[in-house]
Amino acid sequence: MKNEGLIKKFWRVIYPPLLFLTISIIIEFVVMLGYMILLAADNPAMAGNVNFLVNTTTEWIMSHAVMLTVIAGVVALPIFILLMFGDRRRSIREEKHAEYTKVEPWKFLFIAVMGVFACIGMNLFISITGIINWGGGFEDTAEAIYGGGMFWTVIGVVFVIPVVEELMFRGLIYNRMKYYAGVVPAILVSAVYFAIYHMNVPQGIYAFVLGVLMAWVYYRYKTILAPVVFHVSANAISVVLTYSETFNKLTDVQYIIMCIVGLVVAAAMFVTIAKTVKVSVVEEKYDTIIIGAGFAGAVVARELAEYGNEKVLILEKRAHIGGNCYDSYDGHGVLIHNYGPHIFHTNSKRVYDYLSKYTTWYNYSHEVGANIGGRIVPVPFNINTLYEVFPEDEAKILEAKLLEKYGDGKRVPILELMQSEDESVKKVGQFVYENIFLKYTMKQWGQRPEEVDPSVTARVPVVLSRDNRYFQDVYQGMPEYGFTPLFEKLLKHDNIKIRLNADAKTAIELKDEKIYFNDKPFDGKVIFTGPVDEFFDCRFGRLPYRSLNFEWGYFEQDSFQQNAVINYTVSEDYTRITEFKKLTGQKVAGTTVMREYSVPYENSSTQIPYYAIMNDENNALYSKYKNLLENYPNFYLLGRLAEYKYYNIDGIVDKALELADSLLGRVK
Ligand code: FAD
Ligand code: UDP
């Protein structure tokens, strides 16, 4: 919905009265036709006289204008109610909907009094000032309203029309404007439109002032009943005064006094409402609050909501769900991964089966090329790569050596190869170190391969087979429709509420061994998946992370490079280029690519911490933060950031399921 264009927004605000007009015209047309047919049947002699039929029918229609409006209103009512429900559902979906405390019923009296007196005051004001004669048209409207007999006037003017107009102008127009632009523009636009709708200047001015007041009471009372009460009261007094001809009996002085009394009482009610009617958001009671809507948060939320029947609230700092796995369509219609390329792979059947409940898979095997001086070779370095970079005779000897030493199909970490006593093996190790690891690792980590945690470089070992795939896991693929739809499905559960753009730091506090949520003690569980140092204001110093800068490019060509990802292992400042359509299998004209630059993480407001820099010193600092939670047994750390670990998606889904197992007392 955030992507709605201006024209669509304008149309959504403008169309309700047009819809009503269309319904009215259709009903008028049908009734007219019916009346004409009956008329012709009743007066066979005049049946051929078109003038007679049209004039008599028009006259009848004019004198039954209110009745026809009532019929149109009754037809339109359910449509407007359905549209309002649609808007509400959308607000709920987008977490823009709030439930409010209810106003005591007797306080609606203020509105009724305000409606009555505002009507008297404004009517007399319009008469006294001569506004009533501006532009003309007022008399015709009055004739149409009161010309059709008391029954229809009362039903129509006092009941049906106010309800229909309130649903249109406040229920739909005001609410939609409020959604797009906030309260003040919503009050003004709905009132101006309400004024224009009345089609003559005196009534327009009257309608504008009352429109502002009705939108305002709606804003204060948070129920459509409020402006309906106002509107019904104002119209009721108007009808009573017209039939009793009260105004005609007043002297000029009485006229002025009544006008002032009307306006003053209405103003007094305004002040009374402003002072005494206070509604607040009803905060639901949650069993668990989860911070972060990435895989860690989303999986555990779903498990607790579904199998523990727990009410779960997710607070997510960003404007979307999915954490770093979030994907979306760019301006060219290409599905991109906004925070870097993500490919799902796992050996865990549990994880694969679990995610398969929320997505089908595009069968994709990730193959990465390394650009070594303009030549693209497969990584991880494997037997195919060996034959590409060494002369064939030499490659044959090296292959035999490697297989003899480690065995067919083995995965050997580069650091291990380099330590080999065997000169041939060492030679391969040295080559791979210099051409695949050294420069890339320096760019990625700002450190040499031997300085980073050995588990990091071991993620991309030398593979003693001819398998060019980046991962050798049993299950691999991409969510068929993208990661974001997977998350939407995962989080779609009645027990889960998500609040976006919500930084937990402003809502959750730990004090004196108690968790506070919005300044009130919270007895439930809190599962935190963000950076733990920042939660504690980095009081022991910042935990070091690497961040990334992304440079995006779009080309009007079918293909940019031979693989979805090409690593630049000996040249360039960026580490890799990703071409997204090759990852996702999307069939689309043109192609979007992204260059990735790794940088130190220094600024939490402009950067995202992507990679924990694991080493003894940093792990010790992490432990200091973790120890701060010793006295908060209901506060859990889960996820790549919160645990300061280098988890893949499958690792984190597995951890989240394990936490859910333990919280739900489930035996795996
Ligand atoms: P995140 O996805 O980071 O989610 C944490 C969420 O918490 C974020 O949405 C954040 O906004 C929110 N948050 C943080 N602090 C607060 C706060 N104070 N208040 C409210 N919300 C907060 N894995 C693979 O399996 N395959 C891959 O190909 C792969 N590629 C990757 C590429 C890159 C560039 C990176 C960085 C990671 C990659 N990963 C990959 C790893 C994968 O991204 C992670 O395993 C996964 O995203 C971890 O999920 P998470 O929920 O722990 O963290
Ligand atoms: N690596 C490298 N050259 C490559 C691929 C990986 O030096 O062509 C090293 C580098 O240190 C990198 C680590 O191996 O950080 C892990 O690579 P992986 O592809 O798993 O990194 P990620 O996709 O998580 O960024």
Per residue, the 3-state secondary structure of 116-152, as one string, reads HHHHHHHHHHHHHCCHHHCCCCHHHHHHHHHCCCHHH
Using pLDDT thresholds of 50, 70 and 90, give the confidence band for residue 1.
very low
Mutate to test the pocket of ligand 1, among 526, 580, 636, 640 (most ligand atoms within 8 A of CB): 640
Using pLDDT thresholds of 50, 70 and 90, give the confidence band for residue 3.
low
Mutate to test the pocket of ligand 2, among 459, 567, 571 (most ligand atoms within 8 A of CB): 459
Amino acid at 553: G
pLDDT in tens, 513-533: 999 998 889 999 999 999 999
Mutate to test the pocket of ligand 1, among 289, 313, 315, 342 (most ligand atoms within 8 A of CB): 342
Q: Is 371 in the pocket of ligand 2 (CB under 6 A)?
A: no
Q: Is 153 in the pocket of ligand 2 (CB under 6 A)?
A: no
* CA nearest neighbour of 366 among 547, 576, 556: 576
Q: Is 456 in the pocket of ligand 2 (CB under 6 A)?
A: yes
pLDDT in tens, 54-90: 999 999 998 899 999 999 999 999 999 999 999 998 8
Average the pLDDT over each of 7-21, 57-71, 589-603 and give the range with the smallest value.
57-71
Q: Which ligand number lies closest to the CA of residue 569?
A: 2
Average the pLDDT over each of 40-44, 105-109, 283-287 and give the range with the smallest value.
283-287
Closest residue by Cα to atom 14, ligand 1, is 530
Mutate to test the pocket of ligand 1, among 95, 314, 316, 324 (most ligand atoms within 8 A of CB): 324
Using pLDDT thresholds of 50, 70 and 90, give the confidence band for residue 95.
low
How many angstroms does the Cα of residue 300 sit away from the middle of ligand 1? 14
pLDDT in tens, 253-279: 999 999 999 999 999 999 999 999 988
How many angstroms does the Cα of residue 319 sit away from the middle of ligand 2? 29
599 pLDDT exceeds 70?
A: yes
Backbone angles phi, psi at 552, to 5 degrees: -100, 145
Q: Is 295 in the pocket of ligand 1 (CB under 6 A)?
A: yes
Q: Is 227 in the pocket of ligand 1 (CB under 6 A)?
A: no
pLDDT in tens, 297-338: 999 999 999 999 999 999 999 999 999 999 999 999 999 999
Per-residue pLDDT at 94: 73
Contact 206, 263 (CB under 8 A): no
Q: Which long-range contacts (CB under 8 A, 24 or more apart) does 177-180 make?
A: 177/13, 179/87, 179/91, 179/96, 180/9, 180/13
Q: Is 636 in the pocket of ligand 2 (CB under 6 A)?
A: no
* pTM listed for this prediction: 0.71
Per-residue pLDDT at 519: 83
Per-residue pLDDT at 307: 97
668 pLDDT exceeds 80?
A: no
Q: Is 325 in the pocket of ligand 1 (CB under 6 A)?
A: yes
Instruction: Compute the mean pLDDT over every residue in the chain, rounded to the nearest whole number.
Output: 94
Omega of the bond prior to 380 within 30 degrees of 0, cis? yes
CB burial class (10 A; 0-12, 13-18, 19+) of residue 653? buried
Q: What is the mean pLDDT of residues 368-386?
A: 97
Residue 158: CB atoms within 10 Å: 19
Q: Is 382 in the pocket of ligand 2 (CB under 6 A)?
A: no
Average the pLDDT over each of 6-10, 140-144, 230-234, 648-652 and give the range with the smallest value.
140-144
Q: Is 653 in the pocket of ligand 1 (CB under 6 A)?
A: no
Separation of alpha carbons 158 and 169, rounded Å: 17
